[in-house]
Structure 1
């Protein structure tokens, strides 16, 4: 069997926004075995959801070495096996490092932005549309509707409100004190609340949960986080992976953005279910998503902004 290999070796939000393009690859090459080169945690989640068939473990938060995928294939020989890579697709970045890493596997066909005959990279486009535009050129229809992994009726959601206060960079972390005010207000309304986050975010989560929520920080594998959010009537979060879990499960959300615009990373479906708080003003300088302090646009958001998007 021929293998189609897609590279997207980034975090949870990146993996979920890449789902439409992966589904497009499935449609373009239905007879192929679809393998994702990416982190095993997110990759196995997508295997369980039927998006891809297997995962080649690789992480790409730093520029990929030219031989990174060759080494990964050698370390995990059962993933690619002896099958030829018929098609390798760069859903990771514009290159050149990521494209070179795929080329080192000597696929029969290599698809990436800015290669001859392929689309040019554009900065001002939503992340979902960016990768779908690349895959459509292979004949794989895909779009924002393909983001949905679970579709549970809202009437059947009896779980707690999920608050996810963390983010990978300080620039996207709204102050814990404000999240605590939100939790306190929700508890005063009689709402059950849980706080989620990665293990490294435990101090922030503990501060927020002290306002009356159950602290599940660092305790949930991705599959359990998906189940929790699927059962929830509401998720509150910043611009981070949990926000994309809400999109994938059609869970109503209130999402705080800054410095990155929601036009690039916000919910691309179910506009009636997701409330985006984005207080950018004309003349604001470009924000730095990797800064070591919360972005000024994000800090314009208030607890009242978040609570205005909640129900009950």
Structure 2
């Protein structure tokens, strides 16, 4: 059910309503264009239409001013209760349209910024072969008939200044992913985790409530690792990741959280090419493992598939350990 969250007091006329009602990784890659929104409409309240937990997480960090609670492509309910006045601007950071743009047009904005579609004929073209951060910053850079473009980029992803490496921080292992095609086998994570524990590294296992069975299985296969699966909300996960020395995961929201917090990571990709979703800053702190075509310009498999993607399946535990060793400075 949708509703409004956040300060409802008077703000500048013409708030900016931004739709990005997606998951954690999508919202974190959206931080850069959200900061572009602030530059494009300075002094205006930024209202984010997004799931509550992730939206409020960004609100507490000043990325947005208020949250209109929704998810996916549901109709936007309670808009008038959260917008401070008439004449708002709508920004589609959710998708290429037309469905997402039609949801925003139903709120009767004075201006809509989005990629060109049948619902929004005035806008830049959508390109499939483009990094997610670059794509949405390109939208903010586009000059519309109503407003001028602004720059945003990778540095805008940060949720804090780049931290010093914590030599005694734990290694976070996050075995889950939203879809099985992006979920590396638990048995392989166990091989990696056992080696880390044997090397004297404290290891923390993380996962959502739906992924707790994975961390429980992993903890049984790799004694000595601390299982926090299903026990952390988003703030708790951010705290654990923020004080860790290294994060090992698939292409998930936890990987994007490590990027946003400046924490070193090894990220396993498949079937989505890493040049679409991989880390785009602090190159010295991140390693991506990808066994697909380095020149891929489309998906090599189904990112929403129900079986392990073959490109991800070709990654061996020894490769993950080697990349981790490099970032840890040798075990």
Under TM normalisation by the shorter chain, which class is it?
Answer: over 0.9
Deviation at 1:152? 4.9
Deviation at 1:173? 0.1
Aligned: 1:123 with 2:128: yes
Equivalent residue in structure 2 for 1:289, among 291, 295, 303: 303
Q: What TM-score does the superposition give when structure 1 sets the normalisation length? A: 0.93
**2: distance between equivalents of 1:47 and 1:37?**
12
Partner of 1:86: 88
Q: What TM-score does the superposition give when structure 2 sets the normalisation length? A: 0.88
Partner of 1:73: 79
- Runs of 5+ unmatched residues, structure 2: 1-11, 143-147
Equivalent residue in structure 2 for 1:103, among 105, 116, 119: 105
Aligned: 1:205 with 2:208: no
Aligned: 1:308 with 2:310: no
Aligned: 1:53 with 2:65: yes
Secondary structure of the residue that 1:272 maps to in structure 2?
helix
Deviations 1:209-238 (A, max 9, x none): 220211111111111211211111100000
**1: distance between equivalents of 2:255 and 2:105?**
33
Partner of 2:9: none
Aligned pair count? Answer: 302
Deviations 1:219-258 (A, max 9, x none): 1111121121111110000001000001001110000000
**1: distance between equivalents of 2:295 and 2:241?**
37
**2: distance between equivalents of 1:10 and 1:197?**
18
Equivalent residue in structure 2 for 1:229, among 213, 233, 241: 241
Deviations 1:109-133 (A, max 9, x none): 0111013331011100000011000
Deviations 1:286-312 (A, max 9, x none): 211111111000000111111001222
- Runs of 5+ unmatched residues, structure 1: none
Secondary structure of the residue that 2:284 maps to in structure 1?
coil
Spell out structure 1 runs of 4+ moving beyond 4 A.
281-285
**2: distance between equivalents of 1:283 and 1:136?**
26
Deviation at 1:86? 2.0
* Structure 1 segment 1-312 matched on structure 2, within 5 A: 1=12, 2-60=14-72, 64-65=73-74, 68-69=75-76, 71-73=77-79, 77=81, 79-81=82-84, 83-114=85-116, 115-137=120-142, 138-156=148-166, 158-210=168-220, 211=222, 212-281=224-293, 286-310=300-324, 311=328, 312=331
Range 11-20 or range 203-212, more displaced: 203-212
Aligned-residue RMSD, C-alpha: 1.7
Deviation at 1:157? 5.6
